[in-house]
């Protein structure tokens, strides 16, 4: 007589299920007697779902099989082992490898239909596993975010990223969560309170430094950007956003001055594509709203108060001697540009002594140089050529991403077809197996829809980036002529707007009066931004 064990799983404590279990129990024992086997052990996992293999008794049963302590396994149905096809197959194959014969209420597994089907679809499942892992993790992250699970590695200031330890598997559970960090919750609130008090970001920066609070990175010097980021994070009132950006491959070593033109790197998604994830709030909502109101008001005030006229208001300006930003500094009714070394180094003493320069001097020089460039078709033509080649590079990376998606799409279609074939060819299929395959199929279709969406976004992008390559020297010359005439009629505001468009960076050495300007060409298909007054 051969030895036998019985395995069962009870997912709930309900009366009804108890009854079924009793029935299954009795049936198994009857089968065991009929097959002239003798029962050596009963494995029962109570209160477990079939979604996970992390079950104590299941583990013990598998151990027993490995150790050869029984020859036959009785389960009422294969779904007792697992609800998912892959795991069912995994365990069944493992048991068979250990020489175990498996019996269900339909009979012995190997020779019956279930057994054959399991082996048949093992191949398909293995094929599915080869699916593009990159795309899968990307979608998995988005799914996680939709389930309100924290994704990504960067933890916002004020929180700790926590993962729970699972003593059964002896490892951390996969999904982590945000928990307020006591110390940082306090500091974040100090920043909010101080801002409400002083109503100035610079003031908060100084306060944090004077009181010796370390920055989130552990440094001693607080930057205005850090403070502003903290004051505007929605995490603090309970919602962090995932899926805000999507990225386009950035070519390393690309000349920085064209960055604004091709806009490589991260791009902001449409607001409705953002996925909000609930996190524990750490700042009072009223306080948060009040801060946002003041921030908005201050930023409009700042523009209105700008009574001094600076041509380079919205152009990035840097000190050639120390690399710090150049600020506008009105002094006794006269406007100056001055290196911000002092503010940047604060509280350390400044280490650049470039003096202030009258803004008029710089502005006039920069404007005449800019005009020279517009007057010179050769310079402009060279820039246009560069710009086009940059556009083409971006198009290349869009095409690249597109081809990856198209490859995944065709793989998914093939696999879906294999499943459909499988579903149509076989009759009398076990209901759960069909259900599993259909679920798989649905997940494929879902992914296919997402791929199509992503493809259409890329398509739109591609069109946006497209450049008409047939710009002739003559058309450039015509354009220059038109531009010269138009520029004569420019108001100061027009000039401001124009240099903002055309200059990406201005480096100023206020000591030896050297100025370096970096020119950029605005996006060429963006006609509105190139339209000059006629």
Pull the structure tokens for residue 126: 């293995």
| Residue 110 CB-half CA count within 13 A | 10
- By CB atoms closer than 10 A (0-12, 13-18, 19+), residue 411 is middle
Closest approach of Zn ion to the CB of residue 509, in Å: 9
Q: Which is nearer to Zn ion, 159 or 337 (CB)?
A: 337
Handedness of CA 162, 166, 169, 173 (dihedral sign): negative
Cα separation, 326 vs 318, whole angstroms: 5
**DSSP letter for each residue of 426-455:** --S--HHHHHHHHHHHHHHHHHHHHHHHHH
Closest approach of Zn ion to the CB of residue 347, in Å: 17
Q: Residue 511, interface with Zn ion (CB under 5 A)? A: no
Q: H or E stretch including 201? A: helix 201-210
Q: Residue 283, interface with Zn ion (CB under 5 A)? A: no
Pull the structure tokens for residue 259: 């960055």
Q: Which stretch binds Zn ion (CB under 5 A): 33-41, 246-254, 353-361, 440-448?
A: 353-361
Q: Residue 374, interface with Zn ion (CB under 5 A)? A: no
Q: Which stretch binds Zn ion (CB under 5 A): 21-29, 234-242, 347-355, 390-398?
A: 347-355
**Closest of 320, 380, 328, 332 to residue 359, by C-alpha:** 328
Q: Which is nearer to Zn ion, 95 or 321 (CB)?
A: 321
Q: Which is nearer to Zn ion, 128 or 321 (CB)?
A: 321
Using the rule CB under 5 A, which residue among 226, 341, 370, 394 binds Zn ion? Answer: 341
Closest approach of Zn ion to the CB of residue 326, in Å: 8
3-class secondary structure, 304: helix
Q: Which is nearer to Zn ion, 121 or 324 (CB)?
A: 324
Q: Residue 506, interface with Zn ion (CB under 5 A)? A: no
- What is the length of the chain? 534
Which residues face 326 on adjacent strands? 339
Closest approach of Zn ion to the CB of residue 511, in Å: 9
Number of residues that bind Zn ion (CB under 5 A): 8
Closest approach of Zn ion to the CB of residue 359, in Å: 16
Q: Residue 467, interface with Zn ion (CB under 5 A)? A: no
Q: Which stretch binds Zn ion (CB under 5 A): 152-160, 201-209, 340-348, 469-477?
A: 340-348
| Cβ within 8 Å of residue 476, ≥6 positions away | 377, 380, 381, 384
Encode burial over 48-65: b for 16+ CB neighbours within 10 A, e otherwise: bebeebebebbeebbebb
Query: Tokens 């404007």 — which residue?
Result: 367
Window 304-333: contact mask with Zn ion (x via CB under 5 A): ---------------x-xx-x---------
Pull the structure tokens for residue 29: 């024992």
- In angstroms, how far is CA 125 from the centroid of its own chain? 29
Q: Which is nearer to Zn ion, 282 or 508 (CB)?
A: 508
Q: Residue 352, interface with Zn ion (CB under 5 A)? A: yes
Closest approach of Zn ion to the CB of residue 226, in Å: 22
Q: Which is nearer to Zn ion, 352 or 471 (CB)?
A: 352
Q: Residue 339, interface with Zn ion (CB under 5 A)? A: yes
Q: Which is nearer to Zn ion, 257 or 345 (CB)?
A: 345
Query: Tokens 């290196």 — which residue?
Result: 339
Closest approach of Zn ion to the CB of residue 341, in Å: 4
Q: Which residues bind Zn ion (CB under 5 A)?
A: 319, 321-322, 324, 339, 341, 352, 354
């Amino acid at each position: 007589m051969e030895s036998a064990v019985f395995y069962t799983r009870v997912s709930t404590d309900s009366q009804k299920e108890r009854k079924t279990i009793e029935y299954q129990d009795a049936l198994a024992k009857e089968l065991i007697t009929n097959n002239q086997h003798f029962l050596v052990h009963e494995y029962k996992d109570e209160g477990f779902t079939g979604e996970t293999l992390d079950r104590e008794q299941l583990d013990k049963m598998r151990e027993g099989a490995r150790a050869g302590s029984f020859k036959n396994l009785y389960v009422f149905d294969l779904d007792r082992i697992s609800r998912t096809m892959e795991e069912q197959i995994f365990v069944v194959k493992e048991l068979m490898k250990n020489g175990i014969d498996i019996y269900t209420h339909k009979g012995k597994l190997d020779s019956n239909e279930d057994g054959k089907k399991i082996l048949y679809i093992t191949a398909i499942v293995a094929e599915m596993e080869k699916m593009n892992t990159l795309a899968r993790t990307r979608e998995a992250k988005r799914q996680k975010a939709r389930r309100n699970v924290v994704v990504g590695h960067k933890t916002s200031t004020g929180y700790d990223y926590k993962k729970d330890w699972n003593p059964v598997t002896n490892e951390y559970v996969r999904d982590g969560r945000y928990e307020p960090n006591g110390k940082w919750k306090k500091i974040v609130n100090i920043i909010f309170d101080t801002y409400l008090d002083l109503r100035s970001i610079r003031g908060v920066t100084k306060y944090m430094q004077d009181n010796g609070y370390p920055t989130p990175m552990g440094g001693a010097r607080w930057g205005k950007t850090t403070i502003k980021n903290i004051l505007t994070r929605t995490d603090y009132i309970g919602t962090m956003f995932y899926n805000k950006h999507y990225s386009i491959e950035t070519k390393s070593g690309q000349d920085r001055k064209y960055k604004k033109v091709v806009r490589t790197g991260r791009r902001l998604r449409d607001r409705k594509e953002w996925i909000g994830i609930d996190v524990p709030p750490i700042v009072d909502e009223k306080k948060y709203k009040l801060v946002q109101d003041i921030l908005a008001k201050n930023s409009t005030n700042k523009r209105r108060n700008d009574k001094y006229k600076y041509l380079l208001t919205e152009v990035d300006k840097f000190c050639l001697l120390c690399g710090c930003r150049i600020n506008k500094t009105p002094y006794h009714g006269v406007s100056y540009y001055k290196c911000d070394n002092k503010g940047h180094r604060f509280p350390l003493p400044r280490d650049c002594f470039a003096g202030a320069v009258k803004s008029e001097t710089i502005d006039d020089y920069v404007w005449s140089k800019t005009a020279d460039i517009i007057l010179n078709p050769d310079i402009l033509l060279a820039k246009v050529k560069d710009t086009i080649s940059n556009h083409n590079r971006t198009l290349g990376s869009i095409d690249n991403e597109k081809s990856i998606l198209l490859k995944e799409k065709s793989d998914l279609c093939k696999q879906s077809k294999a499943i459909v074939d499988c579903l149509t060819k076989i009759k009398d299929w076990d209901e759960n197996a069909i259900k599993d395959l259909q679920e798989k199929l649905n997940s494929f279709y879902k992914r296919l829809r997402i791929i199509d969406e992503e493809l259409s976004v890329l398509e739109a992008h591609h069109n946006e980036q497209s450049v008409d390559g047939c710009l002739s020297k003559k058309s450039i010359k015509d354009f220059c002529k038109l531009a010269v005439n138009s520029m004569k009629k420019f108001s100061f505001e027009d000039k401001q707007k124009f240099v903002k468009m055309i200059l990406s960076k201005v480096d100023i050495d206020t000591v030896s009066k050297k100025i370096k300007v970096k020119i950029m060409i605005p996006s060429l298909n963006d006609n509105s931004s190139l339209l000059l007054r006629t």
